[in-house]
Amino acid sequence: MNEQKRKGHETILEFVKTLPGMPGVYRMMNAAGDVLYVGKAKSLKKRVFAYTTPEKHPIRLQRMIAATATMEFTTTHTEAEALLLEANLIKKLKPRYNILLRDDKSFPFIHITGGHEYPQLAKHRGTKDKEGEYFGPYASGYAVNESLEVLQRAFQLRTCSDSIFASRTRPCLQYQIKRCSAPCVGRVSKEQYLAQVELARQFLTGKSRDIQEKFVALMQQASESMDFETAALFRDRIRVLTQIQQHQSINIDSIEDVDFHVVFQDKGQTCVQVFFFRSGQNFGTRSYFPRAEKDELAGNILFAFLAQFYTNKPVPREIIVNCDLPDKMVMEEALRMKAAHKVTIQIPSRGPKKEIVEMAAKNAREALARRIAVEASQAEVFERLAEIFGLDGPPERIEVFDNSHISGSHAVGAMIVASPDGFVKNSYRKFNIKGPVAPGDDYGMMKEVLTRRFQSLLKDGDAQGQWPDLLLIDGGQGQLTAVQTVLTELGVQGVPVVSIAKGPDRNAGRERFFVEGRDPVSLDQGDPVLYFMQRVRDEAHRFAITTHRARRSAAISQNPLDDIPGIGGKRKKALLLHFGSAKGVAQAGVADLQKVAGISKAVAEKIYGFFHEKEE
């Protein structure tokens, strides 16, 4: 180990000799080329020189220095530019020794479309590349759906696509339940509809009380005119707006576009609670649990979190935090460069913003307590799992495999991944069975899937740490033998395999577990390990079935005429109109095919040959 430390120290020292004193980003990599750490610096030379004295660093960084075999550098004009580049590289490379933001999904928006005389109300996620106005971000899909429901009930705007709108001949169910004014069939004038769109726009920009007052005036006016049906309509809309105001108890008119980021630490773990406010309205909250060392300071974690968080999200003009950041001015400048407007980061000392920080801190504390409790029980399950099946230690990555087919057709294999943190859905894989495999040969399908999976691992190496600590197979002794055969043929050693067989009459709770070289194991009903194994098996089965159905649906919808070279849309349409179906085209002779407009003798022979050569 001392020799390895010396090599890492010497490697870094050699790089220091040629480094400039400029801002930039550095990457530390091991002998396999894996990025261990990405860092930014005001002066690359001074920052990297600090790694030449490993004894001054904590143990984890000493390990990183020892493992460093090479480094890469990118100079920038300013430290703020270096911070933006660092955040992008961390998100892309996910280095082992960096503080890492997990569960970094994009946030949804509400979109009022443009380019149409009757704008559509829709949920949008991703790039804002469509014409219209966007409102958000919202903390979750649930928050967007809830707001869309309110908008439909209060303003009765359409949510259907333009193509459905154009094809309607009578009002849909949304009109019947008073969630759309049916502009598609002229039940509302264009002027009335656009007025409702404008009210929805005002609502989304925080003017719900003004709108409510307008509805009250209109209701009274309709009532005085003895138009009780219209008065009832506005009464219902007023109720909707009243309900939503009651639910949003922490809306504050004095707050415009502000994001709150509140960090809380306990038992070596960290939670960052994010509150979104837009135009005084609370657009929801979300909890994050960034990956960091147990002794990392809260300010350092929050600094790294903010840099990564805003790489793919809109930056508000004001960000509220609850602890000091190590380089607040650098962060403000980096976010200003990204957003093209001034950004301030503050810690409030009093007033409404301070109250929201305290509320967010309470939410963060409760969220982290729940997570720690779940992880504690999950950790016990994984420890028992290792004990029951004779593993070297609790597994970090479990890969579960299953197949799905109907009499051998459209066969697919599926792999899901489970870890102590739950299902790792971005690691799920699906395999279209290529064969040759006899119809219904489950052993043959499993062999193909496992062969392809481990050939890929052997080719790519262990660069991303994707080797499983345990394989779980749906089946009995036969499936276990098939898997062991594949691993032996590929020369793969040290990967434990457990096969789970359903109980008599496929009775859940009476499963038997097969492990090589040991007698089958049965677990008592109510055992947490049994429940966990059933859950991951069922998730693999669900994923396999979903994948199979998607493949089968694609095959059903596929038209064989699509595969004939030289047959474009017009000819295909003419053939289908003449013969009624693709099957009719397949059964037609050359002379019959020539009777179709646009089909010459040469083309007819090509079509005939396509179907009949396939049958030979």
Q: Mean pLDDT per segment of 10 residues, for the chain of length 616 residues?
A: 68 89 92 90 92 82 88 92 92 89 77 90 84 83 78 85 89 88 91 87 72 75 77 72 52 72 91 84 83 89 93 89 93 92 92 90 89 80 89 89 66 86 85 70 79 79 66 85 85 86 60 85 82 87 78 59 76 79 80 86 84 55
CA distance 516 to 85: 49
- The CATH number linked to 479 is 3.30.420.340
Same domain, 404 and 547: yes
Same domain, 402 and 551: yes
Residues in the chain: 616
Is residue 382 domain-resident?
no
Do 268 and 294 contact (CB within 8 A), yes or no? yes
Same domain, 283 and 365: yes
Same domain, 199 and 161: yes
| HEC string for 16-63 | HCCCCCCCEEEEEECCCCCEEEEEEECCHHHHHHHHHCHHHCCHHHHH
Q: What is the pLDDT of residue 2?
A: 58
Q: What is the pLDDT of residue 79?
A: 92
Task: Tell me the HSE value of 503 on the side-chain side, using a 13 A CA sphere.
Answer: 12
Is residue 288 domain-resident?
yes
Do 106 and 356 contact (CB within 8 A), yes or no? no
Is residue 266 domain-resident?
yes
According to DSSP, the residues that pair with 427 across neighbouring strands are none
CA distance 187 to 185: 6
286 φ, ψ to 5°?
A: -150, 140
Task: For residue 573, give the H/E element and its range.
Answer: helix 569-579
User: In 297-351, where does DSSP find H-type helix?
Assistant: 298-309, 328-339
Q: What is the pLDDT of residue 325?
A: 94
| One-letter identity of residue 315 | V
Do 442 and 585 contact (CB within 8 A), yes or no? no
Same domain, 76 and 15: yes
According to DSSP, the residues that pair with 291 across neighbouring strands are 100
Is residue 275 domain-resident?
yes
Is pTM, for the whole model, over 0.95? Answer: no
In this structure, the strands spanning 409-419 and 429-432 are antiparallel
- The CATH number linked to 9 is 3.40.1440.10
Same domain, 220 and 350: no
DSSP 90-126: HHHH--TTS-B--S-PPPPEEEEE-SSSSPPEEEE-S
CA 50-55-61 angle, to 5 degrees, is: 70
Do 205 and 279 contact (CB within 8 A), yes or no? yes
Rounded to the nearest 5 percent, the helix, strand and coil shares of the chain are 50, 20, 35
Same domain, 9 and 125: no
* Rg (the chain; Cα; Å): 31
Is residue 101 domain-resident?
no
Q: What is the pLDDT of residue 273?
A: 93
Number of domains in the chain: 5
Same domain, 409 and 550: yes
Where b means 16+ CB within 10 Å and e means fewer, 362-386 reads ebbbebbeebbeebeebeebbebbb
CA distance 401 to 410: 17
CA distance 236 to 234: 5
Q: What is the pLDDT of residue 103?
A: 67
Is residue 391 domain-resident?
no
CA distance 279 to 252: 9
**Which residue, 592, 604, 597, is CA-closest to 566?**
604
Is residue 607 domain-resident?
yes
CA distance 582 to 579: 8
Domain edge (last residue) among 332, 354, 369: 369
Same domain, 532 and 472: yes
Task: For residue 346, give the H/E element and its range.
Answer: strand 344-346
Same domain, 564 and 551: no
Same domain, 126 and 238: yes
Is residue 386 domain-resident?
no
CA distance 595 to 160: 42
- The CATH number linked to 592 is 1.10.150.20
Residue 214 domain boundaries: 109-247
CA distance 600 to 593: 8
Same domain, 541 and 565: no
CA distance 592 to 579: 9
Q: What is the pLDDT of residue 482?
A: 84
187 burial type by CB count under 10 A (0-12 exposed, 13-18 middle, 19+ buried): middle
